[in-house]
Structure 1
Amino acid sequence: MRAWNRPLVVFTGAIILLVPVCLGGLLLDPRTLGGAPIWAKPLKFSISFALYAPTLAWMVSLARADRARHVASVAATVVAVASTIEMVAIVGQVLRGRASHFDVATPFDTAVWAVMGTSIAVLWVANLVIAVVLLRERSLTPSVAWGVRLGLLVSLLGMAVAFLMTSPSGFQIAAAKAGEGMPTAGAHAVGVPDGGPGLALLGWSTTGGDLRIGHFVGLHGLQVVPLVALGLLLLAPRLRVLRSETVRVRLVVITAATWTGLTLLLTWQALRAQPLLAPDALTLAALGGLVVVTALAVGAVLARAPRPTDREAVAA
């Protein structure tokens, strides 16, 4: 196996070391920001990056052709740099007692938010480049290959949800028109102002919609879909029905489709100003439909599973 991308590995090590620092901040620093402990945001981002960065480093190592490996490595290095900028900005603003996201109260805060916004866009494009490179990779077991490809694509969708948060909310626009100024431009809450009651630690709104939920779920499709693919591969020697490569590929595709559906459902729920734990009948019906369709699709694949060929059995 090729070496993992070194900048991403270094970033992973640094971000893992940051996790206990943030935990210490939660315990020792009594300050709050937007109704939440001020160190909650860097802790959440640290844990998320600690999962995301090594996963991406592993995926980049899967590229075999020299040109593809070079392109993926450059893109991964860009991801490491952009992610570092993001975390430096978040922690730096915490030390100043200021919000990192959406803060435009002063020229300096505006500049920090502009740099963060740019780094987020660059990170998204770099992930897209890696996804395109791995879409062309032909050296992997098909089910694992599709797990990696589709995991990347689902995570790109999850990242894209964040762009919905960058426009000023109705509350912010109304305050600006009333002459109160606009210290923040952009929000993750829908139907209620940011900073209201939220779930413990996560901070997701319990009184309105919250776009961070769909963003979080979609982003971590990067881990879920490939893990399902690897799990199916490990179970194949024990479960005869999974010895067919065709069956495993189809189950991976169903996993990615279901995770995509869940991401879209949670984002749709948030855009309709519904708290995660207070869905209406329409949201529940959509969730039930997603569960039923997924179950029927899995059942159909397993029921029609072909007898594995000798080649597929060896591959398993």
Structure 2
Amino acid sequence: MLIKRPADIKSSEITPEWLYLRRREVLRGLIAGGSLVATAGIYHLFARAARRPPPGPGPRPLATVSASDASLTTDEPPTDYDDITHYNNFYEFSTAKHDVAYEARALVTRPWTVTVEGDVQRPQTFDIDDLLRRFPLEDRVYRLRCVEGWSMVIPWVGFPLASLLKLVEPLGKAQFVAFETLHDPKQFPMQRGQLLDWPYREGLRLDEALHPLTLLAVGLYGKTLPNQNGAPLRLVVPWKYGFKSIKSVVRIVLTTRMPRTTWREAAPHEYGFYANVNPAVSHPRWSQATERRIGEFTRRPTLLFNGYAEQVAHLYAGMDLRTFY
């Protein structure tokens, strides 16, 4: 059963900003008292930063409203802001989680447009700032479960994907929704190599895309998305493994066919199209029965559909969840 939180608490009110800043002071103190090895490491970091262009504007506050439906959010304690923004999978920048925030500093997120096309009556291209003005931005606290076996609780800011899709009027033959990340090797250093078939692609069934839980996120903790978290616009599908929640989206296509998805093409025996969180279906290389919540020391049981079964299980009625993984 989903735990509900009071609807009048906004994500920007969950963790005081002074606490986050205080963490930085503690870290600086530890570094100052370190050894010569630590000093050499600091010098290396400064030298590295000097070779990089300066970062763009930092996260800005967003005007938000509480979730329109209390069942669309949870009162579980959110993961620390520093952990959310410095423990990231974003392979366009790096395969090392703790390097992503640094490598993503110079990503340019303005101007930014998102094209919605395919089997729709009114294909359109939207400016990101127009989208921020067009829809009420809701606070949604969601659990995030990574296929690697770790999890977080993230206070997102965004609007339902369904709101955007309704503007383009899907045709009756549309059955799936495909998504693409920006393809720009100048900004995404890993796109210069052959690690994956770029750009990153993901997809949903249309009924999944229209579900009220499916969010287009433009912020977290009451502010605009940091680059490393998928700025300026990312998908969030909380009952699926995290790799389904594609980042830095520039293209959405409605189609009659199941779309290509990056990890399914890279390793089809490991990553299925649906990628619903299921503790009974192990990854070929590890169990999915438990997870490590970032910030905790012990593992916890993984919940079917990441704890959202009450809302989404009906979408898969009659399907063998072991086969359609």
TM-score, normalized by the shorter chain, greater than 0.5: no
Larger radius of gyration: 1
Higher strand proportion, which one?
2
Higher helix proportion, which one?
1
TM-score by length of 1: 0.28
